[in-house]
Amino acid sequence: MVTVILVVAVALVLVSAGVFVAVSMLGRTGRRGGVAGEPSAPPVARQPRPPAERLPERDLPTPSVDELEELLRAPDIEVAAPPEPEVVERPRLRDRLGRTRSTFSGAFGRIRGRKIDDETWDELEESLLLADVGMVTTARLLDAVRTRAKEESATEPDELIALLRDEVVALLAGDSGDRSLRVLAGEQNVWMFVGVNGVGKTTTIGKLASQRVAEGHRVVLAAGDTFRAAAADQLQLWAERTGGELVRGQEGADPGSVVFDAMAAASGRGADLVLVDTAGRLHTKTNLMEELKKLRRIVDRTPGALKEVLLVIDASTGQNGLVQAKQFAEAVDVTGIALTKLDGTAKGGIVIAIQAELGIPVKIVGVGEGLGDLIEFDPHEFAAALFADD
């Protein structure tokens, strides 16, 4: 009896254990993720998973051996293209001569359609003087026009205008030397920039550095203006903007030592062009002009290196520019003129006076403050711009 009771008890325990296991498994599947004791979330209906999209076999081209090799060779790093240099377009002199041109076109407008008389000649003279061609050169030009007008029996004002244009070209294109800035391949080339304060020396250096770097030269900018730290900072900005290399000294340092260092650095680095900035100075200050002579002598220690001494003149100073030019030419033997700010002045006729009275070639002209606003001076282009009708 006892045996029977034991068998029944074991059977009951086994059955209840089985029932417990089954119930607990059911509970687990119904409350997946739930927390014990909390009401279970309703089961989420499971959407049947769409079959994976497959491209049709024919859209998966098999790469050729060449293509695979190409892929293997290609670097997995993207190499950024080098930054593009600032693109500068050459400005047209005609568009920039504004105020000087209007002085001439105004006078021409007044003499056209009338007979030639004293008033005609007065108008021509006045326009030349207003444009700061100066008394001497104006008289020279008008005398030549009068002579030719007689010879050719000119009767129309337009004929006089054409003759005047011819004379201006002849005067500008006369034998005042080569206008190109000298650079000899395989040599060190040094260009010095001199002039009174604020005429545009540093800006002109920046513009030239831009042009020459673009042509493939390696350019060193020498901060020979050590009077103010700001002067070297200004040149540094131009160096950064144009891809030139700057050599500078401490404020108050001897400009000669800066120039010496710049030339040594240029030789060491294989740079072929050194542009020397100098402090602005009044042509009347003897000690400052002496300092400039000394600077020149330092460059001359490397025989043949000094290719240009460019006197920078602000066109808007008009006739005073002539006086400056005489003094600087005496001190440092100027090889050419850089005439700046021709864009903002009515006194562009100073080009003619400089050429006629000094015989120093105007080599470059500044026609704005931008990087590209510097053009090589061409007498024919200048005359065409000055005498253009529109």
Ligand X SMILES: Nc1nc2c(ncn2[C@@H]2O[C@H](COP(=O)(O)OP(=O)(O)OP(=O)(O)O)[C@@H](O)[C@H]2O)c(=O)[nH]1
Q: In what order do the strands lie in the sheet with 273-278?
A: 245-247, 219-224, 273-278, 189-194, 306-314, 336-340, 362-366, 374-376
Q: Which of the listed partners (Mg ion, ligand X, none) does 200 bind, with a CB threshold of 5 to 8 Å by partner kind? A: ligand X
Which residue in the set 199, 208, 298, 311 belongs to the binding site for ligand X (CB under 6 A)?
199
SS3 104: helix
Q: Which is nearer to ligand X, 201 or 296 (CB)?
A: 201
Min dist CB 334 to Mg ion, Å, is 17
Cα separation, 155 vs 108, in Å, equals: 15
Question: Least separation, in Å, of the C-beta of 299 and ligand X?
Answer: 19
Answer yes or no: are the C-beta atoms of 281 and 327 closer than 8 Å. Answer: no
User: According to CB under 6 A, which one of 130, 368, 372, 378 is a site residue for ligand X?
Assistant: 368
- Residue 219 DSSP symbol: E
Backbone angles phi, psi at 190, to 5 degrees: -120, 130
Residue 340 backbone dihedrals phi, psi, to 5 degrees: -100, 170
- Partner from ligand X, Mg ion, none contacting 368, C-beta within 5 to 8 A by type: ligand X
Find the part of the chain contacting ligand X (CB under 6 A) among 34-42, 245-253, 341-349, 352-360: 341-349
Tokens representing 345 are 């002045």
Site residues (CB under 6 A) for ligand X, limited to 216-245: 225, 231
State the number of binding residues for ligand X (CB under 6 A): 20
Binding footprint of Mg ion, residue count (CB under 5 A): 2
Chain residues 145-174 in contact with ligand X, contact rule CB under 6 A: none
Among ligand X, Mg ion, none, the one that 244 touches (CB under a kind-dependent 5 to 8 A) is: none
Measure the CA–CA gap between 188 and 276, rounded to whole angstroms: 13
Minimum distance, C-beta of residue 365 to ligand X, in the bound complex (Å): 8
186-205 binders of Mg ion (CB under 5 A): 201-202
- Cβ neighbors of 25 (< 8 A, separation 6 or more) are none
Residue 202 found at the interface with ligand X (CB under 6 A): yes
Considering the complex, state which of residue 195 and residue 379 has its C-beta at the smaller distance from ligand X: 195
From 344, 349, 361, 379, residue interacting with ligand X (rule: CB under 6 A)? 344
Nearer to Mg ion, 202 or 210 (CB): 202
- Classified as helix, coil or strand, 193 is strand
Coil, strand or helix at 21: helix
- From 103, 188, 189, 203, residue interacting with ligand X (rule: CB under 6 A): 203
Strands (E), 157-269: 189-194, 219-224, 245-247
Class of residue 368 by CB neighbours under 10 A (exposed 0-12, middle 13-18, buried 19+)? middle
State the residues that interact with ligand X by CB under 6 A. 195, 197-203, 225, 231, 280, 340-341, 343-344, 366-369, 373
